[in-house]
Amino acid sequence: MQTVDTTNFEQQVLQASQPVLVEFGAVWCAPCKRMEPVLEELSAQWDGCVHLMKVDVDLDPDLAMRFQVMSVPTMILLKGGQEQQRLVGLQSRERIIEKISPYI
């Protein structure tokens, strides 16, 4: 998963031609660390269909505020620059697929 911040968020996420699943997390967040392998696996599975990106809320609090992220991990699916789906907290692989698949 590629890391994005305010310098490249517009181009990499909002202007992307494909849906983008953005994980808002932090290095100290244990649930975020537990989800990383699942997200890496889904990134490979959805290659060419959905881009997966991550934002470190400690390094980029402005993006977290912009998207009203109140807890980590929070995953937001954006398509055409618009929020389509939001998942908050530790999620199972199956739940992520269930919520994201309709937008692929």
Q: In the chain, how long is the greatest CA-to-CA distance? A: 32
Q: Which domain holds residue 12?
A: 2-103
pTM over 0.85: yes
The domain tally of the chain equals 1
**Identified catalytic residue from 13, 21, 29, 64:** 29
**Identified catalytic residue from 13, 20, 32, 39:** 32
CATH number at residue 60: 3.40.30.10
Contact assessment for residue 83 and residue 103, using Cβ atoms and an 8 Å cutoff: no
pLDDT tens string for the chain (104 positions)? 899 999 999 999 999 999 999 999 999 999 999 999 999 999 999 988 999 999 999 999 999 999 999 999 999 999 999 999 999 999 999 999 999 999 98
- 29 noted as active-site residue: yes
DSSP per-residue letters across 33-82: HHHHHHHHHHHHHTTTT-EEEEEETTT-HHHHHHTT--SSSEEEEEETTE
